[in-house]
Structure 1
Amino acid sequence: MIADTIWWHVYPLGATGAPIRNRAQGDADHRLRKLGPWLDYLIDLGCNGLLLGPIFESVGHGYDTLDHYAIDTRLGDDADFDWLIGQCRERGINVMLDGVFNHVARTHPAVEQGLAGSTDWEGHSELATLHHGDPRVRDMVTDIMCHWLRRGIAGWRLDVAYSVPAEFWSDVLGRVRSEFPDALILGEVIHGDYAEIANAGTMDSVTQYELWKGIWSSLSDVNFWELDHALGRHQAIVEQILPNTFVGNHDVDRIASKVGQDKAIVATALLLTLPGMPSIYYGDEQGFVGLRTDGFEADDAVRPELPASPVDLSPLGGWIFEQHQALIGLRRRHPWLTRASVEVLDKTNETISVRSFSNGHELLVDAWLTPSPGVRVHAGGETLYEWPRA
C-alpha cells in the first residue's frame, strides 16, 4: 500500500544546485537527472518513496508557480521527468509531487484571467491567492492533479492545505479520485485540529508538526513530559487519520542542529517506531546541519545542494547513515506500525518508555538523555535495536 511508503523528501531546486535567486534569463538545464545517482542510495537507505518539493516552472523558490503543466527549465523538461519516473518505477519507488494550489506567482496567467486576486498570501507581495470559490480554479486544479497522476506519480503533497477551504478540497479530490482512487493525498497542516481538517477536506494524511515539535523540543530541553503530551495527541490523531511523521523538512531547522547528532539518533528512533507514515529529509541521514535565517536567503541552509553522487559524501556522516539504515530496516520489518496505537508507559524528565501496538504486535522503546543519549527498541525480551550498543 502507498500508505506504507517511507519517503525520502528532497527539495529539488536546492539539491540539484539550481539558482534560486538572480535567475539568469533563459537558464535551462537538465538538473532533474542529477537525482538519478541518488535513487539507489534511497533504496539502500531503506526508503521506497521519493517526495519531491516543487518542480514546476516558477519565479524563484518553486512555491511561486508560473506554470503547473511545465517542468521548471532550471530542472529540465518533460523528457527529464519521464526519465525520472521510469527510473523510479524500475526500482519500485513511489513518487509524490508538491502541489502549490493555494497561491501562485503574481505574474502567473491566472492573475490576469481573474482566477487569483490582489490579496497577498501571508504578507508575501510576490504571491497571489487563488479564488478557491471560482469553479474555474477547481477545474484547473483537478486537471493539473490528474495530468501528473496520468504521468505516473503516486500522490500529491498539498502545500499550505490549511489555508484552502475544506469544501474546495473535498470537491477537487472527489473528482481526482474518480479516476485515481488509490492516489495518496498529503496535506500540509501546521496548526489546528489535524483530523478534522483532513476529514473535512477528504485528505488521506496531514503533516504532524505537533509530534515534530514534541520530539525535538523534549530532547533539547531534557523534558520528556512534553513528548508524553504530544504522544497523547498523536494517539488521538492516528485513531482517525494517517499522519505524516518527520523530524526534518524543507521549512525547519535541521534536527542535528536543533539537538546535536547523538540526540538526533534518538529522535530518528522515535520517528521510526511510532504510528504514521514517516519521511526522512534528505541529508538528515548523514547528519547535515543547518539553521534557517531571515530574509530572502532564510531557507538556503536547510535546502543545500547534494554532491554529484553518494560516493562524494563526507565519510563523517557514515555512522549516522548506518543508524538510519538499521532503524528504517526495523520499520519495514514491522509494517503494522503505520496504523498502530501508542501509549507512554513511564517517563521522567530524562527518560521515556513508549509502547506501539496493534493486533497482537508490539514494540517497546526506551529512550534516555543522561548520562548520555541512548535508545533501545525491544519486543518479547529481545533487543531489536540499541544505540549506543551496551
Structure 2
Amino acid sequence: MSQMPWWQRSVIYQIYPRSFQDSNGDGVGDLPGIGARLEYVATLGIDAVWISPIYASPMADFGYDVTDYCGIDPLFGTLDEFEQLMGQAHRLGLKVLLDFVPNHSSNRHPWFEASRSSRDSPQRDWYLWRDPAPDGGPPNNWLSRMGGSAWEWDPLTGQYYYHAFLPEQPDLNWRNPQVRRAMDVALRFWLDRGVDGFRVDVLWLLIKDAQYRDNPANPNYVVGEPAHHRLLQSYTEDQPEVHDIVRSMRATLNEYGDRVLIGEIYLPVPQLLKYYGAHGDGADMPFNFQLLNARWNAAGIANMIRDYDNALPEHAWPNWVLGNHDNSRIASRVGMAQACVAAVLLLTLRGTPTLYYGDEIGMTDGDIAPDQIQDPAEVRQPGIGQGRDPERTPMQWDSSLPNAGFTDGRPWLPIATTTSVRDQEGDPSSMLTLYRRLLSLRRSNTALMCGAIENIAAYGDVLTYERRYRNQRLFVALNMGAKDATVQSPSGSVLLSTVISRTGEAFVDGDNQVAAGEGVIVIVRPPTSTPMRNDRDSVRASRP
C-alpha cells in the first residue's frame, strides 16, 4: 500500500470557497476562512482538499470566468494568504488541489481584450472567431450551455466569437500553440508554489471541430431539458485532439513529482475511460459522475459498479463522486436515511472518493427565492431546474441565527437548514459521526483502501459486495429500500453499521437481517481450509 500514489490512498474534500467560511463579514467565504476551518477538515479524516476557483475574476460565473490565471481575486484574499493556507494544509497532512479553468477565460481577460481589439491583433487567434453566415446570423447552430446561441456578435471587428457558456466566458483556441504555452505557464506558476494537483474544468470541451460543422439534432430530446440538449454535441465536445492536450498537462505535472491530474468529464464510461490515456499518460482520474444521476436502485447501482470496474484498463484507478457544486445534494436526492447509506457506499467502493463540503452533516439543497437567485444558468434559463444555487449554500457550522456561524454579515446565499457541525459533534447517531467512523475505518483498513471489489450483487433493495485484500475480507450490505430485508452473507462480525447498536454483532453464514435504510460493514471470518483467491481485481495502481 505504501507504494501507491498518495491520491489513490486519499479521500478528497471539495471546498466551494464562497460558501465555506467568511472571515471579514462581507458574506462571501475566503481563504482566511478556509484556514480557520482547516483543522476541522483534517480531523474529519480527509487527505486532500480541492478548492473551487479563487483566481481573479469579475464573477460573472463565480470564478469560472478568469482574468488572471496567476492571481488571487481580492474577494478571496491575496497570494500571500494562499501560500499561508498551503503551508497550514501541509502541516496538517492535507494535500491541496486547485481548480484549473482552461476552456475559457473572462471577456475582460487582457488576452481577450487584445484579441477583440482588431482582426490583425497578434492574439486574434487565441479565441474562436468566425464570419457571419450568409444571412448575417451566427456561423453555425452551436448552442451555449447557459442558453441561446454559443456565438456572440462583436460589432467592433464584424465577427462572432464562440462561448460554450456565458458570453462573458469566451472559449480559448487550444489549437493555437501560444495558448497551450500560456496555460502551461499558469500550471507551473501554481506547481512552483507547492500545489499538489488540479481538477481541470470541462476537460472534454477543450477542442472544437476544425471545420465548424453544425451539430446534428438530438432525436431523444425531451421538452423542458436545457436548450442545448436539442443538439448532439458531436462537434463541440470530446474531439480526438483533446487527448494530446491531456498528455501535455500530464507531462508537465510529471516534472513536479507525484501530482494528481483530475478531469471534469461528463461522458459515458466507454468515452470517459479514454481520458486515462493508453499507458497512464492521461488524467490520473477522469471524474466518474455516475452516482450523481443514478436512480437509487440496488440492481441498477450494482450493474453500474460492476460494469465500471470491469471496464477499467489495467493501468487505471477508479474514483467515485457523490456530490459537487453543480448537482443537487445527496440528502435532497435520496432523503436523510438513505444519505447515510450513500455515505457507506461512497467510502467503501474501490477507488478514490470525493466528498462535497456539508454532505458530512447531511446538508440539503437550499430554498432559493426568486429574488435571491445568483446562478447565471438559472437567470438565463428560468424554470428548467438548472440553477445551482441550492447546492452552494453556506456551510452550517453552528445553530446561531441567522447565519449558522458562516459570516457576521449577510450571506451571499441564504442558509439552507438548521443542522450544523456543532449540533452533531459528540452525537453517536449523527451523520457527522458516521462520516468520521467511516473515514477512520477506511484509513486503517487495507481492504477498503486498496483491495479488490468482488461479488457485487443485488437482493431486492439490498446492494451487497465484498472488499478483499490478501487475508482481509469485508462484506458490505446497503439497504436502499424502506423495509427490513434479509440477505445471504458470510459469517463475521459487524465493524460498522448506520444502526450503531449493531457494532460487534455477529453475522452468521447464511441469512442475516439488514434494516430499512441500513448500511453495514462486516469483517468476514477467514475460512479454515479454502485458500484465498488471487484474482485480477487485486490492487491495480495506475502508476507502479
TM-score bin (small chain): 0.7 to 0.9
- Are 2:18 and 2:29, in contact at CA under 8 Å, matched by a contact in 1? no
**Structure 1 CA distance for aligned equivalents of residues 74 and 454 of structure 2:** 48
- 1:2 equivalent in structure 2: 6
Call closer, same or farther: CA 1:59–1:233 in 2, change over 3 Å: farther
- Are 2:461 and 2:479, in contact at CA under 8 Å, matched by a contact in 1? yes
- Are 2:95 and 2:196, in contact at CA under 8 Å, matched by a contact in 1? yes
What SS does structure 1 have at the residue aligned with 2:63?
coil
- 1:12 equivalent in structure 2: 17
What SS does structure 2 have at the residue aligned with 1:146?
helix
Letter in 2 for 1:205: M
What SS does structure 2 have at the residue aligned with 1:130?
coil
Letter in 1 for 2:378: G
- Are 1:206 and 1:242, in contact at CA under 8 Å, matched by a contact in 2? no
- 2:518 equivalent in structure 1: none
In the TM superposition, residue 380 of structure 1 has moved relative to its aligned partner by 6.8
- 2:51 equivalent in structure 1: 52
- Are 1:170 and 1:202, in contact at CA under 8 Å, matched by a contact in 2? yes
Letter in 2 for 1:303: R
- For residue 300 of structure 2, the aligned residue among 199, 207, 226 is 226
1:163-312 aligned at under 5 Å gives the runs: 163-164=205-206, 165-177=242-254, 179-192=255-268, 193-199=271-277, 202-214=282-294, 217-218=295-296, 223-240=297-314, 241-290=316-365, 295-296=378-379, 298-306=387-395, 312=405
Letter in 1 for 2:31: L
- 2:473 equivalent in structure 1: 362
Structure 1, unpaired ranges of 5+: 20-26
In the TM superposition, residue 17 of structure 1 has moved relative to its aligned partner by 5.1
What SS does structure 1 have at the residue aligned with 2:277?
helix
Letter in 1 for 2:290: E
**Structure 2 CA distance for aligned equivalents of residues 130 and 375 of structure 1:** 56
Aligned CA RMSD, in angstroms, stands at 2.9
- Are 1:17 and 1:306, in contact at CA under 8 Å, matched by a contact in 2? no
1:291-370 aligned at under 5 Å gives the runs: 295-296=378-379, 298-306=387-395, 312=405, 313=420, 315-318=422-425, 319-370=430-481
In the TM superposition, residue 345 of structure 1 has moved relative to its aligned partner by 4.1
Deviations 1:341-369 (CA, angstroms, capped at 9, x unpaired): 32344313311211123444332101113
**Structure 2 CA distance for aligned equivalents of residues 174 and 42 of structure 1:** 31
**Structure 1 CA distance for aligned equivalents of residues 486 and 29 of structure 2:** 43
What SS does structure 1 have at the residue aligned with 2:199?
strand
**Structure 1 CA distance for aligned equivalents of residues 190 and 422 of structure 2:** 37
| TM-score (normalised: structure 1) | 0.87
Letter in 2 for 1:5: S
Call closer, same or farther: CA 1:29–1:346 in 2, change over 3 Å: closer
Letter in 1 for 2:68: D
In the TM superposition, residue 317 of structure 1 has moved relative to its aligned partner by 4.4
Call closer, same or farther: CA 1:387–1:167 in 2, change over 3 Å: same
Greater shift after overlay, 83-92 or 292-301?
292-301
- Are 2:67 and 2:106, in contact at CA under 8 Å, matched by a contact in 1? yes
Q: Quick check: 1:146 aligned with 2:188?
A: yes
Q: Quick check: 1:76 aligned with 2:77?
A: yes
- Are 1:16 and 1:306, in contact at CA under 8 Å, matched by a contact in 2? yes
In the TM superposition, residue 16 of structure 1 has moved relative to its aligned partner by 3.8
Call closer, same or farther: CA 1:77–1:328 in 2, change over 3 Å: same
In the TM superposition, residue 134 of structure 1 has moved relative to its aligned partner by 1.0
What SS does structure 2 have at the residue aligned with 1:280?
strand
In the TM superposition, residue 264 of structure 1 has moved relative to its aligned partner by 0.5
Call closer, same or farther: CA 1:243–1:59 in 2, change over 3 Å: farther
Letter in 2 for 1:305: P
Deviations 1:358-383 (CA, angstroms, capped at 9, x unpaired): 4443321011134458999x997121
What SS does structure 2 have at the residue aligned with 1:36?
helix
Letter in 2 for 1:14: S
Greater shift after overlay, 109-118 or 226-235?
109-118
- Are 1:266 and 1:374, in contact at CA under 8 Å, matched by a contact in 2? no
**Structure 1 CA distance for aligned equivalents of residues 107 and 455 of structure 2:** 48
Call closer, same or farther: CA 1:31–1:139 in 2, change over 3 Å: same
Call closer, same or farther: CA 1:16–1:211 in 2, change over 3 Å: same
- 2:176 equivalent in structure 1: 134
**Structure 2 CA distance for aligned equivalents of residues 104 and 280 of structure 1:** 27
What SS does structure 2 have at the residue aligned with 1:64?
coil
**Structure 2 CA distance for aligned equivalents of residues 349 and 380 of structure 1:** 21
- 2:127 equivalent in structure 1: 116
- Which structure features the higher share of strand residues? 1
- Are 1:162 and 1:189, in contact at CA under 8 Å, matched by a contact in 2? yes
- Are 1:64 and 1:127, in contact at CA under 8 Å, matched by a contact in 2? yes
In the TM superposition, residue 14 of structure 1 has moved relative to its aligned partner by 2.8
How many percent identity over aligned positions?
Answer: 25
In the TM superposition, residue 338 of structure 1 has moved relative to its aligned partner by 4.6
**Structure 2 CA distance for aligned equivalents of residues 238 and 340 of structure 1:** 15
**Structure 2 CA distance for aligned equivalents of residues 363 and 352 of structure 1:** 14
- Are 2:319 and 2:350, in contact at CA under 8 Å, matched by a contact in 1? no
Deviations 1:212-235 (CA, angstroms, capped at 9, x unpaired): 433xx22xxxx2111011112221
**Structure 2 CA distance for aligned equivalents of residues 185 and 69 of structure 1:** 18
In the TM superposition, residue 315 of structure 1 has moved relative to its aligned partner by 4.5
Call closer, same or farther: CA 1:238–1:323 in 2, change over 3 Å: farther
**Structure 1 CA distance for aligned equivalents of residues 484 and 388 of structure 2:** 29
Call closer, same or farther: CA 1:17–1:244 in 2, change over 3 Å: farther
Deviations 1:177-228 (CA, angstroms, capped at 9, x unpaired): 2x213111111111132221221661111111124433xx22xxxx211101
What SS does structure 2 have at the residue aligned with 1:306?
coil
Call closer, same or farther: CA 1:255–1:29 in 2, change over 3 Å: closer
- How many pairs are equivalent? 375
**Structure 2 CA distance for aligned equivalents of residues 44 and 380 of structure 1:** 33
In the TM superposition, residue 47 of structure 1 has moved relative to its aligned partner by 0.6
Q: Which is greater in Rg?
A: 2
Call closer, same or farther: CA 1:309–1:49 in 2, change over 3 Å: farther
**Structure 2 CA distance for aligned equivalents of residues 83 and 337 of structure 1:** 33
| TM-score (normalised: structure 2) | 0.64
Call closer, same or farther: CA 1:348–1:379 in 2, change over 3 Å: closer
- Which structure features the higher share of helix residues? 1
Structure 2, unpaired ranges of 5+: 116-122, 130-160, 207-241, 369-374, 380-385, 406-419, 503-544
Letter in 2 for 1:175: T
Greater shift after overlay, 102-111 or 74-83?
102-111
What SS does structure 1 have at the residue aligned with 2:187?
helix
- Are 1:187 and 1:207, in contact at CA under 8 Å, matched by a contact in 2? yes
